[in-house]
Structure 1
Amino acid sequence: MADPTADDVQRFIAQGLACTHLAVEGDGRHFFATIVSAEFDGLSRVRRHQRVYAALGDRMREQIHALSMKTLTPAEWSAEAVAPSHHPH
């Protein structure tokens, strides 16, 4: 089975999770996704990631070897777009 492209991963996530913004970058083995979904409201970062893994299902184990993600609610995304340098690390 061929390694998935960033577009494939983006499509897989979008099929299983309603997103208001979704961007995936990657090289076929390692991916970074920025995922904005109203479904993340009230969820911890761990629960958000679990929700994305659930959307990816078996593909996560079989095809996607490494996925880093930033998971935001629409409100968090708006705040970050306005002031990305104000987030404490």
Structure 2
Amino acid sequence: MPMAAEDIVGMITAALPGAEVEMRDLAGDNDHWAAKVTAPQFAGKSRVQQHKMVYDALGGNMGGVLHALQLTTQVPTSEA
């Protein structure tokens, strides 16, 4: 059974408190997702490290119930 967007968001925000997660269904099948994750924990981390933090948050679901995830990560910009 595919993984619902709210489940993915919940796992990411549980591991990265304060993260903002935007989900987009790429194929209309609830199985191929694009996620944009903005989290303060990414500050000072490389893109690879940021992606690993998100994959770690998803546990063993990548490649299993979560078939495909196109991931974009960024550090929040400070608002003046």
Say yes or no: TM over 0.5: yes
Q: 1:15 — aligned with what?
A: 14
Where do 1:18-33 residues align within 5 Å? 18-26=17-25, 27-33=29-35
Extract unaligned runs of 5+ from structure 1: 79-89
Q: Which of 56, 65, 78 is equivalent to 2:67?
A: 65
**Structure 1 counterpart SS, 2:18:** coil
| Count of residues in Structure 1 that have an aligned counterpart in Structure 2 | 76
Contact 1:19 1:35 in 2 (8 A): no
What is the alpha-carbon root mean square deviation over aligned residues?
A: 1.7
Q: What TM-score do the two structures reach when normalised by structure 2?
A: 0.81
Q: What TM-score do the two structures reach when normalised by structure 1?
A: 0.74
Where do 1:42-81 residues align within 5 Å? 42-75=44-77
**Structure 1 residue 19 displacement after superposition:** 3.3
